[in-house]
């Protein structure tokens, strides 16, 4: 049985402040997949606090109505929480959905987020050398 704590998406794994999103958006590296744009940056936290990846999700009102925006956010959080994306520790990631992502099934979105995670890992490996 899975422990109840592992089902959570704690605050430490989220980008929560506007300045955190803006720093990743201004200084991050752009990685794309079929349905999402990912902006990647090494975490600005001290090394002892960056033992995990942090994620932020941005959707605008032009993307869709509130129901569809929230569904997309839930799917992205779930993929991150389950480890489908497998983002390395010490990484801040802002995810922006593309317009045609709102029409896709959850299975195809999870597969696409796994692809995005693979590209993020490739970027991290390339820059850490």
Cβ contact 113:85 at 8 Å = yes
**Which tokens sit at 123?**
């970027």
- Model confidence at 46: pLDDT above 70: no
Q: 3-state DSSP call for residue 39?
A: strand
How much is the mean pLDDT over the chain? Answer: 88
Domains of the chain are 15-124 (3.30.230.10)
> Among 38, 121, 120, 26, which residue's Cα sits nearest to residue 76?
38
| Helix, strand, coil abundance in the chain, percent, nearest 5 | 50, 20, 35
pLDDT of 44 above 80: no
Q: Which three-class secondary structure state does DSSP give residue 36? A: strand
Mean pLDDT of 28-47: 87
Supply the pLDDT for residue 47.
53
Q: What percent of the chain has pLDDT over 90?
A: 67
Q: How far is CA 11 from each of CA 8, 40, 103, 124, 127, rounded to the nearest angstrom?
A: 9, 19, 29, 23, 27
Res. 1: pLDDT tops 60: no
Chain-centroid distance of CA 126 in Å reads: 19
Q: Residue 51 pLDDT > 80, yes or no? A: no
Which residues fall within 8 angstroms of residue 69, CB to CB, at 6 or more apart? 59, 61, 63
pLDDT tens per residue, range 60-111: 999 999 999 999 999 999 999 888 888 888 899 999 999 999 999 999 999 9
């Amino acid at each position: 049985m899975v422990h109840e704590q592992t089902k959570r998406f704690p605050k430490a794994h989220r980008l929560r402040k506007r300045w955190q999103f803006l720093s990743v958006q201004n200084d991050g590296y752009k990685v794309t997949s079929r349905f999402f744009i990912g902006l990647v940056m090494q975490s600005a936290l001290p090394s002892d606090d960056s033992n995990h990846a942090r994620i932020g999700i941005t959707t605008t009102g032009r993307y869709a109505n509130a129901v569809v925006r929230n569904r997309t956010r839930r799917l992205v959080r779930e993929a991150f929480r389950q480890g489908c994306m497998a983002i390395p520790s010490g990484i801040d990631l802002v995810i922006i959905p593309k317009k045609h992502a709102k029409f896709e099934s959850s299975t195809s979105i999870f597969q696409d987020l796994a692809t995005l995670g693979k590209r993020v890992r490739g970027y991290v490996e390339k820059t850490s050398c």
